[in-house]
Amino acid sequence: MSSKEHLSPIEKLNEALNSGELRQVRYTLNNSLRPAEIAHLLDKSPPKERQLLWSLVNKELEGEVLQYLSYDVQADIVSRMDAGELLEVTEGLDTDDLVDLLQQLPERVMRELLQTMDIQNRARVEQVLSYDEDTAGGLMNTDTVTIRPDITVETALRYIRRHKEIPEMTDSLFVVSRRDAFIGVLPLTKLLVSDPDMLVREIMNTDIAPIAATMTDTEVTQLFEQHGLISAPVVDEDGKLLGRITIDDVVDVIREDADHSLMGMAGLGEDADTFAPVLKTTRSRAFWLGINLITAFVASAVIGLFEATIDKVVALAVLMPIVASMGGIAGSQTLTLVIRGQALGHLDRSNAAWLLNRELIAGTINGLLWAAVVAGVAIIWFQDLQIGGIIAAAIVINLLAGALAGTLLPIGLKAAGIDPALAGSVLLTTITDVVGFFAFLGLATYFYG
């Protein structure tokens, strides 16, 4: 189809990999691809190819490639290295990326690695390590460029020119006191357009409060989005400048948070490696299947209560999954909307009642609508008016149960400190299955029994 000249570097690589020309692969890998592209290639490779490719990456690229890998893949590769290799690979990494790596190591290996660092570097890393991964402190980097408030713009420009280069993602200098207390932010764009004789103090920005090291990473993302930030200072409880957070770290958090909702609702970890080996996959899935099996047995037990009725009217067995399914679908829609609303910070006590009310009304209207349709079909199918009325009533009841559970479950779980994205969908299905079967078969037992 396509001639060889038109292949992208990745396609060429695949071809070389398939034909076993490892020298060709090594060359393309290390000379035509950026570290982020190599990482992407590793992320999308099955285990064997991944190991092979990794072994072909040049030593001096390894550190950079590692920091772009997805979490699970990174953890897997790092876990195969000894402290010596790790030290070599992590040399020259930014503090925040280095800390991300260290957190994946066993305590012993981490300590070993810390011992080998020079004192200044180690102090920096240990400071970041002292904060939780999910806080501003755990997210920050220590590569700030600072200046004093009492120098002129001209002096500031001269001071900056003395740098050989300025760290990536630097859009502002941080103004600090002699004791490193944070005072303000000086955007480079402001510095560039200001009168050279002005003082830094006169042109710096003080209207954005610095980020406390203990702020959660989700709050940090909201702050960045609301203020349109590229980088922001992080301070300790005394206002001392500790480091800075940059937008690339914020983007990672946004991706992780979004993945967490999507993957969590299917019982998968947000860091799940798409190409995890078969045993790892099997083990992680088994747990979720087991949990769901319990809920399936609960539903079966409810059906079991009404065996006699089903024995009498076998049409009930044919129709009962419809009741459970409609309640489950309606409930899942509400649940997903509420979980997303929670993630966006939309839900609090002031509007939860309104939301529940809206869901109940929408559930009632849709319940009546689809109950009528199902009743019509059931009556025609089984030539039985009564069964139509029974299934209609059960569907309305179950859609209301779905609306109620879909709204209150995530709110209750969150208040109890349980992650709604993880536990919500199992619990919801249990409720709509139980209510659905109970309402339908219970009513049937009353009328046919």
Output the smallest distance, CB 340 to a copy of itself, in A. Answer: 6
Output the smallest distance, CB 45 to a copy of itself, in A. Answer: 7
**Given the complex with a copy of itself, which of 242 and 391 has the nearer CB atom?**
391
Of 225, 224, 248, 245, which is closest to residue 235 (Cα–Cα)? 245
Output the smallest distance, CB 296 to a copy of itself, in A. Answer: 4
Output the smallest distance, CB 298 to a copy of itself, in A. Answer: 10
Q: List helix spans (H) across 47-140.
A: 47-56, 59-68, 71-79, 83-90, 95-102, 107-116, 119-129, 136-139
Distance (Å, whole) CA 420 – CA 71:
22
Of 439, 433, 434, 424, which is closest to residue 333 (Cα–Cα)? 424
Structure tokens at 364: 């009632």
**Given the complex with a copy of itself, which of 142 and 332 has the nearer CB atom?**
332
**Given the complex with a copy of itself, which of 77 and 105 has the nearer CB atom?**
77
Structure tokens at 390: 């029974």
Structure tokens at 33: 């691809």
Q: List helix spans (H) across 176-277.
A: 188-193, 200-203, 217-227, 247-265
Output the smallest distance, CB 165 to a copy of itself, in A. Answer: 6
**Given the complex with a copy of itself, which of 23 and 162 has the nearer CB atom?**
162
Output the smallest distance, CB 202 to a copy of itself, in A. Answer: 16
Distance (Å, whole) CA 371 – CA 248:
50
**Given the complex with a copy of itself, which of 122 and 280 has the nearer CB atom?**
280
**Given the complex with a copy of itself, which of 234 and 310 has the nearer CB atom?**
310
Of 301, 193, 182, which is closest to residue 239 (Cα–Cα)? 182
Torsion of CA 147, 149, 151, 157, to 10 degrees: 40
DSSP H or E segment with residue 410: helix 385-415
**Given the complex with a copy of itself, which of 52 and 286 has the nearer CB atom?**
286
Give, in order, the Cα–Cα distances in Å from 386 to each of 313, 368, 382.
Answer: 12, 17, 10
Output the smallest distance, CB 116 to a copy of itself, in A. Answer: 28
Neighbours of 361 (CB within 10 A): 11
Distance (Å, whole) CA 416 – CA 411:
9
**Given the complex with a copy of itself, which of 86 and 400 has the nearer CB atom?**
400
**Given the complex with a copy of itself, which of 29 and 110 has the nearer CB atom?**
29
Output the smallest distance, CB 143 to a copy of itself, in A. Answer: 12
Output the smallest distance, CB 265 to a copy of itself, in A. Answer: 8
Pairing label, strands 146-147, 172-176: parallel
Output the smallest distance, CB 163 to a copy of itself, in A. Answer: 5
Burial degree of 344 (CB within 10 A; 0-12, 13-18, 19+): exposed
Contact 222, 345 (CB under 8 A): yes
SS3 content of the chain, % helix, strand, coil (to 5): 70, 10, 25
**Given the complex with a copy of itself, which of 88 and 248 has the nearer CB atom?**
248
Distance (Å, whole) CA 44 – CA 103:
23
Of 399, 401, 425, which is closest to residue 338 (Cα–Cα)? 425
**Given the complex with a copy of itself, which of 46 and 84 has the nearer CB atom?**
46
Output the smallest distance, CB 160 to a copy of itself, in A. Answer: 5
Name the 3-class secondary structure at 202. helix
Output the smallest distance, CB 240 to a copy of itself, in A. Answer: 25
**Given the complex with a copy of itself, which of 44 and 240 has the nearer CB atom?**
44
